């Protein structure tokens, strides 16, 4: 692998995880993001389902690239994504049935998550298979991370626990994973209700912007410091 290819891979990764994060920067897929992040496990479940969809749809779109007629590409993307989501829905129904029941309508609704068609159109239809798969994976991972963090925040404030009902996803081992912070915690209902999701996402975006700003300030300082040496 040449250096150039490596650099491109790291650019794709950073793009998906941070600079162009689906949830925090593109603000796509907010409907499931806000609706299912009541707990960490719900967020993780939907995140992984979305991640799988993104990887598969990006790969397939990239593979069929040579035969794509640009006039009908959008319906084709939708068809591809819909078949993938249906498959994932059936898989979850079969092996993660309880989680499937909890997430409910939001699994089939992954189809409507704009980030998936956006990646197919903007990236996969123009790039090679490995790059497209990596892009799908990183975009999905970035989305999953936000879902998990937001789910964690809301679960902690709302129920005073973390990883509650992890057995839905990890089987019996999951039962030992639940961390309860206070036995008689009253629960801050607002965090679990929709306003809590909006407020939480707002704060996450704010934190990301602060970090970006700090880094930018640091870089400028470094550049200024380097000038006299260069001169």
d(CA 139, CA 203) in angstroms, rounded, equals: 21
Least separation in angstroms between residue 101's CB and other proteins is 26
Beta carbon of residue 194, minimum distance to other proteins (angstroms, whole number): 10
Phi, psi (rounded to 5 degrees) for 180: -105, 125
Please list every residue from 191 through 230 that binds other proteins, using CB under 8 A: 193, 195, 199
Nearer to other proteins, 18 or 188 (CB): 188
The contact mask relative to other proteins for 157-196 (x = CB under 8 A, - = no) is: -----------------------------x-xxx--x-x-
Which H or E run contains 154? helix 129-159
Which strand (E) or helix (H) includes residue 214?
helix 194-230
Q: How far apart are CA 106 and CA 30, in angstroms?
A: 11
Residue closer to other proteins (CB basis): 6 or 193: 193
What span, in angstroms and rounded, lies between the C-alpha atoms of 148 and 150?
Answer: 5
Token pair of 229, please? Answer: 């040496």
Nearer Cβ to other proteins (70/186): 186
Distances (CA, A) of 26 to 82, 87, 111: 22, 26, 17
**Binders of other proteins: how many residues, by CB under 8 A?**
7
Considering the complex, what minimum distance in angstroms separates the CB of residue 189 from other proteins? 4
Q: How far apart are CA 150 and CA 155, in angstroms?
A: 8
Minimum distance from CB of 213 to other proteins (Å)? 15
Strand segments (E) across 45-181: 161-162, 179-180
Nearest to other proteins of 104, 194 (CB atom): 194
Considering beta carbons, is residue 17 or 35 the nearer one to other proteins? 35
The CB-of-192 to other proteins minimum distance in angstroms stands at 9
**Binding positions for other proteins, rule: CB under 8 A:** 186, 188-190, 193, 195, 199
């Amino acid at each position: 692998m040449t250096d150039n290819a490596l650099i491109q891979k790291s650019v794709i990764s950073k793009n998906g995880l941070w600079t162009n994060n689906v949830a925090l920067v593109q603000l796509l897929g907010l409907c499931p993001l806000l609706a299912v992040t009541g707990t960490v496990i719900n967020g993780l479940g939907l995140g992984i389902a979305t991640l799988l969809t993104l990887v598969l749809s990006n790969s397939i779109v990239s593979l069929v690239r040579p035969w794509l007629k640009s006039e009908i590409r959008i319906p084709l993307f939708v068809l591809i994504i819909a078949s993938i989501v249906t498959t994932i829905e059936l898989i979850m129904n079969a092996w993660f049935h309880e989680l499937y029941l909890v997430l409910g309508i939001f699994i089939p609704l992954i189809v409507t998550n704009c980030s998936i068609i956006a990646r197919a159109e903007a990236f996969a239809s123009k790039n090679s298979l490995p790059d497209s798969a990596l892009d799908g994976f990183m975009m999905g991972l970035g989305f999953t991370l936000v879902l998990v963090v937001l789910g964690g925040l809301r679960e902690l404030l709302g129920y005073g626990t973390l990883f509650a009902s992890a057995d839905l996803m990890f089987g019996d081992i999951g039962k030992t994973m639940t961390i309860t912070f206070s036995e008689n915690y009253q629960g801050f209902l607002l965090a679990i209700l929709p306003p809590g999701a909006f407020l939480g996402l707002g704060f996450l975006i704010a934190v990301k912007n602060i970090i970006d700003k700090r880094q930018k300030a640091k870089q400028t300082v470094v550049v200024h410091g380097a000038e006299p040496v260069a001169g």
